[in-house]
Structure 1
């Protein structure tokens, strides 16, 4: 029993150190207590038997039922250990194996960390921010590992070693990718410069498009676009400044800074392009609607009829019929609002889009109700 208990106790300790969330200690405690109780009864019995051998007057008595009871206690305790171990065998053996591998893991990761730090220090790209950051992270990981080892916590040690292993891989990756960054940065800067030229050309289309919007359509159709040219121009100026800094970084052999500035420039260019396209797209859309205003409404009405048919087929007309009918009335009112010399086509388009989105939501709710 003692031997079995020792094996199980060591496995539970390994589990508690590495996987405390499994709660093995709490589950082992009553089994352990039964072993201690059986051992205590056995020791007490052997002590009395020793006294019986020494007692010539026969004042000490030990009965066979007492001996049988102690033996049963030992047998039951041993069986409890076996049942506990078999019931958790896969996990306990895994915990023991992992716990036993921790010292080897620590030694291996320490060696890898030292090698990677030496490689970083000797690298011609050691000044790159990515390599400096990764190297500093490895240094910090080493300190964390040493503290965990000193604490004697197997779980904390394993976690620290695993974390350091990840940091070493990141440093190795940074060292591997460093040689190609100068070329990548040069390519990125050239590509962004081409995009900047295109954005400047697109900027020139904003003013004529805004002028056409104001001439051909109600002022309300373009009020939200009034600042687009100014915003696009500011974004282009910011992108040009970022690209200038990127070129300076390239000249200074700092491709990571160049890539960072190029990324920022691209974000500014995206803003400029979005502001320019919003104006030209609005003009194209309103002209299309003006030519055939009924076509856009026809598509929404078709979508509404599909929703009404779905309500009928699913038997949910009492819940949704009046709601969908109300959208048909909204469609009629939207079309009736296209009056005057300069009808508000943008308000018309916005209302049709709102009706379409509402109908989509109703259809989704009807389908969810069905499920």
Structure 2
């Protein structure tokens, strides 16, 4: 009986060891399975947001690791299924084999879990980046929706005031498909694309809202410009009528060279004023039809036409004034020009015994040019306009030399 009890106790101990090994393996299997499921969520988060090579490599590595986990899990399940530890007739050798195989399965599961944990730690930067992107997703979509609502409300307010704003309404309607895609979500279009779309919708909707809110002011500005340009057009038409007497006096008192470039001013100014009146009518019609971009463009054309005509009409009067002044007192123009040249010469000689040739040469040429212009005043009908253009050119040369000298000295150039 003693021997029988000894064998029974030995068999019972082996069964207990095998059961302990089975329990340990089960715990290892559960922990590995739980860790793997958690990591699946992390990988899905990364791949949903990140399409970089590092993210693709992480997904591939996880797939390979999953295959290994499947192998050790299958080995564990096979070991569990192979042995019925609750059977009364369990032999000692069978219990020993069960313990050995279950212990090995547990060790393999633990090693796989350690590898899985190490892999999870390596995913940290990618996961942080992905979660940051996901954190932007909901706010980006919500901001876009709110911006669309604000744009729609602003448009309704503008229409209530009597302005149609058809172009803004068309632009807002064009955002409808984009809103549909936003509502479909990142699951359909991806996280990054959804965030990009949300940001784009936000910018466009905010621009529409801002333009809608400014539209009443824009309408008032266009109304003011129409009135102002109409007044200017009428005034310029009156001034244009005074060009012919000015040209008549120029022809009577001065040589042809002094006025021949102005003889077509009346026709050109009259034509420009006529075109401005036509474009102004078109602009007023565009404003009445609330074609704001067209009205703005037409008013810009009117202003350019009036500027050209105004410059031409002013040129005739200015020419007569300047010719009158210089013909009465040419010496004043001469002295003013000589002073500019002498001032440049003094600056060129400042701190030197001889001037730099690059400064002295143009000044010498300017002096000679002025002398020739003065000599050209001899005769019964001098070309006063040529004289004025020459003196202006001489003063311009002196000014360029002064600027060059100052720039040289500012940079330390000798």
Which TM-score band applies after superposition, normalised by the shorter structure? 0.5 to 0.7
Give the structure 1 partner of residue 197 of structure 2: 156
**Equivalent residue number for residue 292 of structure 1:** 329
In structure 1, list runs of 5 or more residues that go unmatched. 17-24, 62-66
Correspondence for 1:217: 254
* TM-score normalized by the length of structure 2: 0.62
SS of 1:341 mapped into structure 2: coil
**Which residue number corresponds to residue 170 of structure 1?**
211
Pairing of 1:1-371 with structure 2 (within 5 A): 29=53, 95-116=133-154, 118-119=156-157, 124-126=162-164, 131-146=165-180, 152=189, 153-154=193-194, 155-174=196-215, 176-177=216-217, 181=220, 185=223, 188-242=225-279, 264-313=301-350, 317-369=356-408, 370-371=410-411
Tell me, what secondary structure is at the counterpart of 2:321? Answer: helix
Is the 1:141–1:167 Cα contact (8 Å) retained in structure 2?
Answer: no
Residue 125 of structure 1: SS of its match in structure 2? coil
| TM-aligned CA distance change 1:118 to 1:298, over 3 Å | same
Change (3 A) 1:259 1:71: closer
Given the superposition, is the C-alpha separation of residues 189 and 206 from structure 1 closer, same or farther in structure 2, using an over 3 Å criterion? Answer: same
Shift of 1:206: 1.0
Task: Give CA deviations for 1:193-228 in whole Å, capped at 9, x if unaligned.
Answer: 443342233223211211221222221111211110
What SS does structure 1 have at the residue aligned with 2:381?
coil
Report the 3-state secondary structure (helix = DSSP H, G, I; strand = E; otherwise coil) of the residue aligned with 2:174.
helix
Structure-2 change in CA distance of 1:247 and 1:114 (3 Å):
closer
Using the alignment, how far apart are the partners of 1:141 and 1:51 within structure 2? 56
Indicate conservation of the 8 Å contact 2:47/2:55, yes or no. Answer: no
Question: In the alignment, is the contact (CA less than 8 A) between 1:149 and 1:157 conserved in 2?
Answer: no
Q: Please give the alpha-carbon distance, in whole angstroms, between the structure 2 residues aligned to 1:116 and 1:328.
A: 68
What are the superposed Cα offsets for residues 85-129 of structure 1, whole Å, 9 maximum, x if unpaired? 8xxx8x988755433312212332343344455556665332xxx
Structure ID, larger Rg: 2
Q: Is the 8 A contact 2:45 2:131 kept in 1?
A: no
Quote the Cα distance in structure 1 between the aligned partners of 2:61 and 2:297. Answer: 69
Cα RMSD between the aligned structures? 4.8
Corresponding residue for 2:28? none
Deviation string 1:316-361 (CA, Å, 9 cap, x unpaired) is: 7144332332222222222222221121121122222223333434
Q: Report the more deviating stretch, 301-310 or 346-355.
A: 301-310
**Under a length normalisation based on structure 1, what TM-score does the superposition of the two structures give?**
0.68
SS in structure 1 of the partner of residue 175 of structure 2: helix
Q: Quickly say closer, same or farther: Cα 1:113–1:237, change in 2 above 3 A.
A: closer
CA distance in 1, matches of 2:46, 2:385: 73
Task: Check the 8 A contact 2:255/2:381 in 1, yes or no.
Answer: yes
